[in-house]
Structure 1
């Protein structure tokens, strides 16, 4: 049985991904490799969750598969926040792409969609 799930995203710009997930969404660095110099992989704690961010480099990955699969919607991260509207405004001010504005849903959640710097959909909800 699964004990825990830990999503890892490949990114064309680790600096931009860190700016989005760490600086704008409040993640805190939990792990960095290598520990000295510019990192190629960083783990962030976001509330009770963790997210891995790996830089796309010329070094082949361990699994041998391309890190940038076919274009299009391949992953969606659901991020629970305290205030969807305030989070959207903070992201908008930083230049993030807002896909859908905050809206109340019939099942009781308030939801908005934004894009991270690599084009991954991020659903903000409370």
Structure 2
């Protein structure tokens, strides 16, 4: 049994806002869109060596039949490696992104900060 790759997929209340955050602000490049030629209900973005999928809530029932909202509690967080944590936080803050934890050096040697994406998912920025 060999896992070939892992693609986290987030459900977005507003696909447009999620694409602005992960695409425009964090530099993601679109690699897939469904459906082609119409309003998207799912988009995959490449960020550096990684990829993330973003799906629009309300685009129809989920295939698995489980409710996608409301999610409660801290269910997951994304760790995003960036070249400059401080500069990234300032760019996100200027765009209105909530900063949950200001950049700080950690005992294990990384500098981290936390922001929230448009759906409230925790995003740890680190270098």
TM-score of the pair, normalised by structure 2: 0.96
Q: Corresponding residue for 2:49?
A: 48
Instruction: Name the structure 2 match of 1:59.
Output: 60
Q: Flag as ranges the 4+ runs of structure 1 deviating above 6 A.
A: none
Match of 2:11 in 1: 10
Unaligned segments of structure 2, at least 5 residues: none
Count of paired positions: 126
Following superposition of structure 1 onto structure 2, how do residues 109-120 of structure 1 map, counting pairs within 5 Å?
109-120=110-121
Q: Deviations over 1:52-83 (max 9, x none)?
A: 00000151111111112532211100000000
Partner of 2:31: 30
For structure 1, the residue ranges without an aligned partner over 5 or more in a row are none
User: What's the RMSD between the two structures over aligned residues?
Assistant: 0.9
Could you tell me which residue of structure 2 aligns to residue 71 of structure 1? 72
